[in-house]
Amino acid sequence: MSAGAFRTATGGRIDRTHTLRFTFDGRPLQGCAGDTLASALLANGRHLVGRSFKYHRPRGIVTSGSEEPNALVTVVRDGGRTTPNLRATQVELYDGLTAISQNRWPSLTRDLGAINDKLSLMFPAGFYYKTFMGPRFLPENWAWTKVFEPAIRRAAGLGRAPTSADPDRYASRYAHCDVLVAGAGPAGLAAALAAAEAGARVIVADEQSEMGGSLLSASRGAINGVPTAQCAADALAQLAGHARVRLLPRTTVFGYFAQNMAGLAERISDHDPSPDPEGPRERLWQVRARHVVIATGAIERPLVFSNNDRPGIMLAGAALTYLNRYGVTPGQRAVIAGSHDGIYAAALDLAGVGVEVAAVLDTRADPQSAAMAAALDAGLPIRTGTCIVGSRGHLRVSEIMIGAPMADGSIRDAGRIPCDCLLMSGGWTPSVHLFSQSRGKLRFDAAAGVFLPGVSAQSETSAGACGGASGLAAVIESGAAAGRTAAQACGFGLGRARAYRVEGILEATEATGHVNAPRLPQGMAKAFVDFQNDVTSRDLELAAREGFRSIEHIKRYTTTGMATDQGKTSNMNALALVSGTLNTTVPDVGLTTFRQPYTPVTFGTLAGMARGDLFDPIRRTSIDGWAQGKGAAFEDVGTWKRAWYFPRAKEDMHAAVARECRTVRAAVGVFDASTLGKIEVVGPDAAEFLERMYVNAFKALKPGRCRYGILLNEAGFVIDDGVIARLAQDRFHVTTTTGGAASVLNMMEDYLQTEWPDLQVWLTSTTEQWAVIAVQGPRARDVIAPLVDGADVGGEALPHMSVCEAKVAGVPARLFRVSFTGELGFEINVPVGAGRSVWEAVAARVEDAGGCAYGTEAMHVLRAEKGYIIVGQETDGTVIPEDLGLGWAIGKSKADFVGRRSLVRPDMIRTDRKQLVGLLTRGRDVLLDDGAQVTSVAAPAKGTAALGHVTSSYHSSVLGKSIALALVRGGRGLMGQRLHVPMPKGAVEVEVVSPVFYDPKGEKLNG
């Protein structure tokens, strides 16, 4: 059985022995292997497949390819896979496919939204600019945002986006080739063969499931004596035999970018009834080609006449494809009409399979061609000088009205012809999208009435119909020539050219056919130009009458060409109509920009594997596993995961942090500081280099000692800080903030390479070489001393801000005596590979000493209690060292360092700059909001500038109250004064205090 009443007995490329079941709107239907959803629906006599965007008019399948404006469907698969807005012409049929129509309720045949068609006077061009203004007493825009827009959004539109997460995976791939061939029709295949035979590395991409393009839907003709479809198969077999050729079917070249980079979307599994659940659904290819052959063919244009959108009305070329490739007839009684010789080939082929050809209507008065002669010979009823003026029918065309154009421009009624399908051809439009995306300049071919590739901007060649070639012989010839040119452009020899002898083709007299744009009588029913956005000829004429001249403006006013099909079938008709209305030429009206993507690309394809765990690198320290085992909560710091706090049974974050802080102050804590940035600065000029980079003096720093370094940018603002240790005369261990690791190294390299290339000093990132274990608290020395071998950790030998090399828990280490808590502290640096084992040894002793591990939150509280800054929290790119009370760190005798000159600019030496202070709330203890403003009175007058803002705010369990750091204008002169911090629940009175809340004399540093 050959699924479907409109299936021919033989012919086509489908497998009649392999029946596939599918449903459309719940109704079970059958098709054949090799069908598209569109061809299978047509084989079952289904033309009506959807409702239009604005007027909800019944619509049918118009084309056989990716340019389809009407037949948008939703395909539902298992596991929440719902894909809306798929073109039925591109959906490959598989057994069990479930498709549903869109934009209709309650059903496709009875759609309440179709009332819009009757109310269409409400929706003229630019209707949303003109209508829906509310009464004046209501707020501006009220009517639109509250009433009209929600209603329109419900009624208009396409399919519904799925609401659940996309369960599929998407792959991506970079690829490189000598020659990328976009399109595998006759021109593309010839080009690919020529390039491959010259030795080039070739990628051939074609959006269809089967490569061959128009060669697959020709009923007659042969190349070198071989039928065209067989020629395609032969060419593909030869290409597949070349090791350096990659064939990508189901792959759309959707974008052409700078320097011959192309974006390709490959559909891998949508056609598969039972896809590999682990495999990707689609793949993004980013292809860099040395030369691109654009062989994207041409797209047939519809005719513009009243009610030209009835189901059953389709393009003649599409009908030929359905017949010859899929063995499907469009109906039983056909009218074929147009202004291009293609109508004769369609008429002959349809008649050949027994379809009654009611009439062949040629709008041209006196066409002369072999194709027409052949149709005449076959006895087909041909009428020249005849156009279509309208159609009738309910949900399907049943009759067309024809007319004869008169010399005065009027159209005389010429009767009616009953039919169940109308096949039309308004000529062909070369697909210059990719050429235009490449920034090539188009030229208007006045003779053919179309835009063709003009001046190239990149190394590419347009071949075949998209380049203006006419007829199969010329198309193949231009493809082969383009392939040879491409190979030559990549440095390959020309080689032997293949000879192609084309026979038996009904050649058209003209390549593209003139654009058919009749002046329609006023008041006629809707003649659609842009089917997908429901733009009629009247809309375009109205826009022109209202004063729009440029097509860019008309496009936005009428929305013509702005649907997901980007006007593939409509743009030339729109241009012709507008230029006719304005009495000007098409190039004068202009051409809208061709934008990527050529056809819609899923977000999944663009995102690729960058989702979930692979969205970004997730970086964990060597100690992370231990922290996870202890049930730590983690926070994101850049791409790092850092242990935030270590809750014990029943503890919330507040309780855990409070306990960790108290433990560090009372006993000892251990902290993973591995994410700190580290740079090894080595060479005879290392000290000189650091003196120039940092505000501090380093030449005088003795080996074995450390200094707190502050880094400014050239504008004088603090951008990073850290401890810098001198390990040897020519070797420094520099630490940076976690977030500054890469940028500080970049900045240092910049100065070294471009400002001071004479300095003999070299930089190496060691961030990931060292695990850093901070041990802080009065018992820190007791904890580590037994683990240290080869160094004296006593206060004399290893005072605050010093460093030594020793073995810790048997591992060679750099042992720092530093503190970011204000307590006696050490930071043990060991190679990352030993990080976990040394940590475990230290942590065990810490616990034995009544201590605990603490996380980043406790670290923040502890440092805030001491008034230690965090770059990026107390600083915001406008803060200089003096503002922070860190002026002491600046090497006063230094002639220069990065940012020094800026520190004496007039604005920097003002006394009323914002300065770092502490704030304590008065009365009731309140945790101030980070970033809250600081004002002089509780309720300042509108427009009063704030004095500053809160930079850090924590509850200190050690101090038994909340503390805050703030930058306040002239703050150091306001000690003891009362200010206010407006908060959501009212202003809070605060007292300005020293930013050092805990141990102001620094006695604890020595344990």
Partner 1 sequence: MASVDAAVSAGGGRDAGALVRAAAPAARFVFRGRDAAVATVASALGTPLSLEPCRASQSVGRIALWLGPDEWLLIAPRSEGGLVASVLAKALGGVPHALVDVSDRNSALIVSGPAVEDVLSAGCPLDLDQAAFPVGMCTRTLFAKAEIVLWRTAPAEFRVEVARSFLPYVEGVLAVAVRDGG
Partner 2 sequence: MLLIHCPYCAMERPEIEFRHAGEAHVARAPDPSQLDDETWAEFLYFRSNPKGVHAERWRHVHGCGRFFNALRDTVSDRLLVTYKAGEVRPELPPQEHSR
Identify which of residues 290 and 364 has a Cβ nearer to partner 2 in the complex. Answer: 290
Which of the listed partners (partner 1, partner 2, none) does 610 bind, with a CB threshold of 5 to 8 Å by partner kind? partner 1
Task: Report the C-alpha gap between 78 and 694 in whole angstroms.
Answer: 61
Contact 479, 295 (CB under 8 A): yes
Q: Is 900 in the site for partner 2 (CB under 8 A)?
A: yes
Sign of the CA dihedral 960, 966, 972, 975?
negative
Task: Report the C-alpha gap between 619 and 614 in whole angstroms.
Answer: 11
Torsion (CA) 610, 612, 615, 620 in degrees, nearest 10: -140
Task: Report the C-alpha gap between 824 and 665 in whole angstroms.
Answer: 10
Site string for partner 2, 681-720 (x = CB under 8 A): ---------------------------------xx-----
Closest-CA residue to 467 (of 481, 814, 690): 481
Q: Is 607 in the site for partner 2 (CB under 8 A)?
A: no
Q: Is 621 in the site for partner 1 (CB under 8 A)?
A: yes
Contact 504, 193 (CB under 8 A): no
Q: Is 176 in the site for partner 1 (CB under 8 A)?
A: yes
Q: Is 450 helix (H, G, I), strand (E, B) or coil?
A: strand
Figure out which of the listed residues 443, 620, 800, 969 binds partner 1, where binding follows CB under 8 A: 620
Q: How far is the CB of 836 from partner 1 (least distance, A)?
A: 12
Which of the listed partners (partner 2, partner 1, none) does 680 bind, with a CB threshold of 5 to 8 Å by partner kind? partner 1
Q: Which stretch binds partner 2 (CB under 8 A): 42-50, 414-422, 743-751, 931-939?
A: 743-751
Q: Is 760 in the site for partner 1 (CB under 8 A)?
A: yes
Q: Is 172 in the site for partner 1 (CB under 8 A)?
A: yes
Q: Is 792 in the site for partner 2 (CB under 8 A)?
A: no
Q: Is 936 in the site for partner 2 (CB under 8 A)?
A: no
- Relative orientation angle of helices 316-326 and 342-352, to the nearest 10 degrees: 40
For residue 490, what are the CA distances in angstroms to 180, 241, 458, 493, 788?
12, 21, 13, 9, 65
Footprint on residues 903-932 left by partner 2 (CB under 8 A):
905-906
Q: Is 896 in the site for partner 2 (CB under 8 A)?
A: yes
Task: Report the C-alpha gap between 55 and 74 in whole angstroms.
Answer: 20
Task: Report the C-alpha gap between 415 and 433 in whole angstroms.
Answer: 40
Contact 386, 392 (CB under 8 A): no
Sign of the CA dihedral 773, 776, 781, 783?
negative
Q: Is 769 in the site for partner 1 (CB under 8 A)?
A: yes
Radius of gyration of the chain (CA): 38
Tell me the number of residues near partner 2 by CB under 8 A.
Answer: 22
Identify which of residues 562 and 715 has a Cβ nearer to partner 2 in the complex. Answer: 715
Q: Is 744 in the site for partner 1 (CB under 8 A)?
A: no
Burial of residue 715, with CB atoms counted within 10 A of its CB: 0-12 exposed, 13-18 middle, 19 or more buried: middle
Q: What's the length of the chain?
A: 1007
Torsion (CA) 418, 422, 427, 432 in degrees, nearest 10: 160
Torsion (CA) 502, 506, 507, 508 in degrees, nearest 10: -160
Tell me the number of residues near partner 1 by CB under 8 A.
Answer: 45
Identify which of residues 286 and 602 has a Cβ nearer to partner 1 in the complex. Answer: 286
**Non-local CB neighbours of 331 within 8 Å, separated by 6+ positions:** 6, 312, 355, 419, 420, 421
Q: Is 836 in the site for partner 2 (CB under 8 A)?
A: no
Identify which of residues 352 and 812 has a Cβ nearer to partner 1 in the complex. Answer: 812
Q: Is 619 in the site for partner 2 (CB under 8 A)?
A: no
Which of the listed partners (partner 1, partner 2, none) does 225 bind, with a CB threshold of 5 to 8 Å by partner kind? none
**Non-local CB neighbours of 345 within 8 Å, separated by 6+ positions:** 219, 316, 320, 371, 506
Which of the listed partners (partner 2, partner 1, none) does 896 bind, with a CB threshold of 5 to 8 Å by partner kind? partner 2
Identify which of residues 154 and 901 has a Cβ nearer to partner 2 in the complex. Answer: 901
**Non-local CB neighbours of 500 within 8 Å, separated by 6+ positions:** 190, 223, 224, 473, 476, 477, 480
Q: Answer left, alpha or beta for residue 473, where phi above 0 means left and psi between -120 and 50 means alpha.
A: alpha
Please report which helix (H) or strand (E) contains residue 460, including its range: strand 460-462
Q: Is 796 in the site for partner 2 (CB under 8 A)?
A: no
Site string for partner 2, 281-320 (x = CB under 8 A): -----x-x--------------------------------
Figure out which of the listed residues 761, 775, 824, 884 binds partner 1, where binding follows CB under 8 A: 761
Q: Is 893 in the site for partner 2 (CB under 8 A)?
A: no
Q: How far is the CB of 713 from partner 2 (least distance, A)?
A: 9
E strands, 25-137, where? Answer: 27-33, 48-51, 58-60, 72-77, 81-87, 97-101
Which of the listed partners (partner 2, partner 1, none) does 746 bind, with a CB threshold of 5 to 8 Å by partner kind? partner 2
Q: Is 762 in the site for partner 1 (CB under 8 A)?
A: yes
Which of the listed partners (partner 2, partner 1, none) does 902 bind, with a CB threshold of 5 to 8 Å by partner kind? partner 2
Footprint on residues 745-774 left by partner 2 (CB under 8 A):
746, 749-750, 753-755, 757
Site string for partner 2, 259-288 (x = CB under 8 A): x-x------------------------x-x
Residue 960, number of CB atoms within 10 A of its CB: 8
Task: Report the C-alpha gap between 220 and 358 in whole angstroms.
Answer: 23
Q: How far is the CB of 685 from partner 2 (least distance, A)?
A: 16
Figure out which of the listed residues 902, 936, 962, 977 binds partner 2, where binding follows CB under 8 A: 902
Figure out which of the listed residues 223, 361, 586, 832 binds partner 1, where binding follows CB under 8 A: 832
**Non-local CB neighbours of 301 within 8 Å, separated by 6+ positions:** 425, 426, 427, 428, 429, 513, 515, 516, 569, 572, 573
In the block, tokens 């599918």 appear at 22
Q: Which stretch binds partner 2 (CB under 8 A): 75-83, 186-194, 744-752, 912-920?
A: 744-752
Identify which of residues 767 and 821 has a Cβ nearer to partner 1 in the complex. Answer: 767
Q: How far is the CB of 176 from partner 2 (least distance, A)?
A: 10
Footprint on residues 179-238 left by partner 1 (CB under 8 A):
201
Identify which of residues 761 and 853 has a Cβ nearer to partner 1 in the complex. Answer: 761
Figure out which of the listed residues 504, 683, 704, 739 binds partner 1, where binding follows CB under 8 A: 683
Footprint on residues 539-598 left by partner 1 (CB under 8 A):
none
Q: Which stretch binds partner 1 (CB under 8 A): 48-56, 464-472, 761-769, 821-829?
A: 761-769
Task: Report the C-alpha gap between 461 and 180 in whole angstroms.
Answer: 10
Identify which of residues 261 and 591 has a Cβ nearer to partner 2 in the complex. Answer: 261
Q: Is 766 in the site for partner 1 (CB under 8 A)?
A: yes
Q: How far is the CB of 675 from partner 1 (least distance, A)?
A: 9
Q: What secondary structure letter does DSSP report for 144? A: I
Task: Report the C-alpha gap between 630 and 913 in whole angstroms.
Answer: 46
E strands, 170-320, where? Answer: 170-182, 202-205, 222-223, 226-227, 245-248, 251-257, 261-267, 282-294, 298-300, 313-315
Phi, psi (deg, nearest 5) at residue 841: -65, -40
Q: Where are the alpha helices (DSSP H) in 227-315?
A: 228-240
Q: Which stretch binds partner 2 (CB under 8 A): 37-45, 96-104, 254-262, 857-865?
A: 254-262
Q: Is 368 in the site for partner 2 (CB under 8 A)?
A: no
Q: How far is the CB of 769 from partner 2 (least distance, A)?
A: 18
Q: Which stretch binds partner 1 (CB under 8 A): 11-19, 399-407, 578-586, 606-614?
A: 606-614
Interacting residue ranges for partner 2, rule: CB under 8 A:
257-259, 261, 286, 288, 714-715, 746, 749-750, 753-755, 757, 895-896, 900-902, 905-906
Interacting residue ranges for partner 1, rule: CB under 8 A:
169, 171-176, 201, 278-280, 283, 286, 288, 609-610, 613-614, 616-622, 640, 680, 682-684, 760-770, 831-834
